[in-house]
Structure 1
Amino acid sequence: MKRTCFAFLSQCLLVIITLTSCSDDQTDLSPDINTPITGYWQIADGDINGDGAIQGIVVHNDETVSEWLYTGETANPYQLGFKTGKWSINGNHYEMQLPISNGTYYNVTVAGNNDRTMYLAYKGKTSVVPFYKLTSLPGNGNEMISELEGMKMSGYTMADFTGYWELDNGNGTGFYIDDEGNISDLICIYGVEKYYSVKYHSAEVILNGNSCVISSLGTQWMVYAVGSNSLLAMDRNNNSQQVEHFVKKDIPDVMMRADEIMKAPVPAELLGKWETIHYTHMINGENVTDIDILNGDEWNKQFYHTLAFSENHKINKWDRFGSQLYDQCFMLKGDNITIAGNLTDLLFPQYNYTETWTISDKTENSMKLTREQGNTTECYTYKRK
């Protein structure tokens, strides 16, 4: 469900009340503070602007007021300013403060009310257009308001956001937030079967008590509200102030596998730079190439390269001229090192190119990496650089 913030909506309501507040006469109704005004209210009997939309207010039990406009559009049925106003009792009548824009309000008086109808007055003039009480909001409005009532809009903690959140548009794109506030993006890809592209720890949550910003796939999401299973957020750089709905779902297996790979400690004895000193190539167990690289001629030196392993599971490779050949990811499983272009390739080797090398010999300052492919075996000997 998509929702829109109050700025545009509240100004529309102000225009209606201003234009229709033209009577100095009292209404047929008297103000009555003994009749509750809490509930759903609609302006007039239907479409007052001629644009097919109907609108009104929700008067909440906690002395706040929400404004709503219902268009019935499939994608965006509601525009909403949730609890942006206030109401109170002043003497023998009710009063409301409704927003013009952030931090500014206009005051209206309930000039007359009963359990079915309510008239508002602005600057001493009573609107000729009444509000009618509804038993329910159109569409799924009741569900929307009920959901928002149970959501947190301030006083955030990291625990409010940990887990996997998916944009409620059916495309399977979402983000995972861990206990430390690291954000990992998951993009759903449909091929032979559904799988995910994972951008691991691409950003961090910016949390400041009453505000929270979540950066995901180039968008800075300003949190509007969060609940146990729903998160509402606005694109910080989009002036439309449209609120997008994220749904909390079970953490995808691929995310847990990504965590397992990236959080596995890299042995200290593997970290650092290694340079090749020997190369062996065998077919059916017989040597085809068996050369010293550093002490060899120019032909031998074509096999020279340097590897660097880092704690964040990155592996870099340079040729003998110092040009970088690749910046890739690796994972360890026993003595096996699997190398791929990125984390997603490691997670889905059936769709991507990977190489697996086995540490066949290891000392503090030397190491052999061996790879077997069919009847072919390659072996590089390295020394610590």
Structure 2
Amino acid sequence: MSDFNKQAGSLSEKAGISSPEITNVSAINQIKFKRRQQPTATELIAGILEGNRTSLSRAITLIESTNPEHAEKANEIINGCISHANKSLRIGITGVPGVGKSTFIEAFGTHLTQLEKKVAVLAVDPSSSISHGSILGDKTRMEELVKDENAFIRPSASGENLGGVARKTRESIILCEAAGFDTIIIETVGVGQSETAVHSMVDFFLLLKISGAGDELQGIKRGIMEMADAIVINKADGDNIKRANQAKVEFNRALHLFPPKKSNWQPKVTTCSSITKDGISDVWNSILDYFEMTKETGFFQEKRNEQNQFWMMETINEQLKQNFYNQPEIISLLEQNKKAVQNNEISPFAAAQLLLNQYKKSF
């Protein structure tokens, strides 16, 4: 075998570090015990109100859990934090994959922390419909912001949720506000024109676009464009500046085709570069103008009140769904009817009605 083949490859196993001869077994056992020990809801609430990042992360993990045993503890935490919430500006940021959402949020978030803002980023990554896994790589992409002591980044998987957000993003906002973060940024998965969920939980909805990708034609379509409070043409740097400015003109024309917003706010189109940071301050100033105007007219609080009602109904729907699928009688009957439907022994509609009738009997 040649010397080249004898050399260790990048995937070959290397000799590890040998354990020290003297090991403190008591200390190891104590560390393992603390890791297994779960803090109470009261302890997590106290930690969140003190701004403890570990407590905040643990609490978000609890509320995101689908384990029914965690639901009661999660609700106790939310109830303990709700009176300390509602003191932030909530900004939703969306755009098609590849538009540079994470890079923009890092530049934008860093700008805000330099203004002494405390920024929480709730980033939602798409989940695979096959493996149900998610990369959750936002912390890697925001490598500078993640080290900022005035920033908190929490990636979550979208799961089966539509609308570009995770199942418990709304509750996570409450916990972040209670922890003292005054600016909450929600980065969606970027699913195109179905961002209704994130629009219903933020105060300001920002749509990122890029030039030269056919986006100018998308500007005249209804849907997500009607929800946007601002459109930002990203990647306006280098040879792309001219194209970005042209796209800005096209989007401005498109926005005038839409009826006036309920807030009477006229959405603005700006350009920026997340690399050179040009235009980032203009985006923030535009957002401040929006908040100043909507607070003066009362629309800001009116929208918040409507959102609270909306999420009350959504929570009821979610609880009914969970309760339905966790009923022992439903679990067994559901499997039977799945097979019957597959074998064409019963129609999907009749099977569904049978299950619903069984569920009604439990009350």
TM-score by length of 2: 0.23
Greater RCO, CA 8 A, separation 6+: 2
TM-score by length of 1: 0.22
* More strand by percentage: 1
Whichever of the two has the greater Rg, that structure is 1
* More helix by percentage: 2
